[in-house]
């Protein structure tokens, strides 16, 4: 896949990257599935907040740790923010109707996608956040043609 690695020095830069990702994704004709990898506290939810607020959501954005998914249906495109940290069994994803979410022309963000292994389709784009001084390193890698278009659009 196509890959980019950048340093994001602070929280604001993480939010700005999320907003940039939103602007690139809304140019696509397809829905996009984005995995967010990284340890607790690396900035996955911060990135999701930047993306959701960058599309115009005025309120808070918190990790849906207990509900598994937080829908932002009114955005264009809609955003589904998943946090699978507390997922006990990947089959729960079937019960919640994961396919119906992912079949839409929406941006789906997934924190802790490893927990859904076997039932979650492969990502269009995988983002990994790792510690750096200062801030974080962020790697973005495409897994599909759609993801490749998205990663390419990031640097336009």
Binding string, residues 54-93; x marks residues near ligand ADP by CB under 6 A: ---------x------------------------------
Residue from the set 16, 23, 63, 144 that interacts with Mg ion by CB under 5 A: 63
Residue from the set 3, 4, 27, 41 that interacts with ligand ADP by CB under 6 A: 41
Angle at 3 between CA 114 and CA 30, to 5 degrees: 70
| Distance separating alpha carbons of residues 128 and 28, to the nearest angstrom | 22
Residue from the set 18, 31, 38, 147 that interacts with ligand ADP by CB under 6 A: 38
User: Which residue number, 46 or 142, has a Cβ lying nearer to ligand ADP?
Assistant: 46
Q: Which does 14 bind (CB under 5 to 8 A by kind): ligand ADP, Mg ion, none?
A: ligand ADP
Q: Which of 77, 96, 73, 85 is nearest to 146 (CA)?
A: 77
CB 107, min distance to ligand ADP, A: 17
Residue from the set 3, 4, 5, 10 that interacts with ligand ADP by CB under 6 A: 10
Coil/strand/helix, residue 62? coil
Residue 29: C-alpha distances to residues 2, 18, 54, 72, 124 (Å) = 19, 19, 19, 19, 13
User: Which residue number, 83 or 149, has a Cβ lying nearer to ligand ADP?
Assistant: 83
24-32, 61-69, 72-80, 100-108 -> range binding Mg ion (CB under 5 A)? 61-69
| Distance separating alpha carbons of residues 137 and 141, to the nearest angstrom | 13
| Distance separating alpha carbons of residues 107 and 100, to the nearest angstrom | 13
């Amino acid at each position: 896949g196509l890959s980019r690695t950048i340093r994001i020095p602070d929280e604001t830069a993480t939010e700005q990257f999320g907003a940039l990702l939103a602007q690139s994704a809304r140019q696509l004709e397809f829905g996009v599935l984005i995995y967010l990898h990284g340890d607790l506290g690396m900035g996955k939810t911060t990135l999701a907040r930047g993306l959701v607020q960058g599309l115009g959501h005025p309120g808070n954005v918190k990790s849906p740790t207990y509900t598994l998914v937080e829908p932002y249906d009114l955005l264009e495109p809609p955003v589904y923010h998943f946090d699978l940290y507390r997922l006990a069994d990947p089959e729960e994803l079937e019960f919640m109707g994961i396919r119906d979410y992912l079949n839409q022309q929406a941006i789906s963000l997934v924190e802790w996608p490893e927990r859904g292994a076997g039932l979650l389709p492969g990502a269009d784009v995988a983002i990994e956040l790792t510690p750096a001084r200062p801030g974080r390193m962020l790697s973005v890698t495409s897994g599909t043609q759609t993801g490749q278009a998205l990663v390419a659009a990031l640097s336009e």
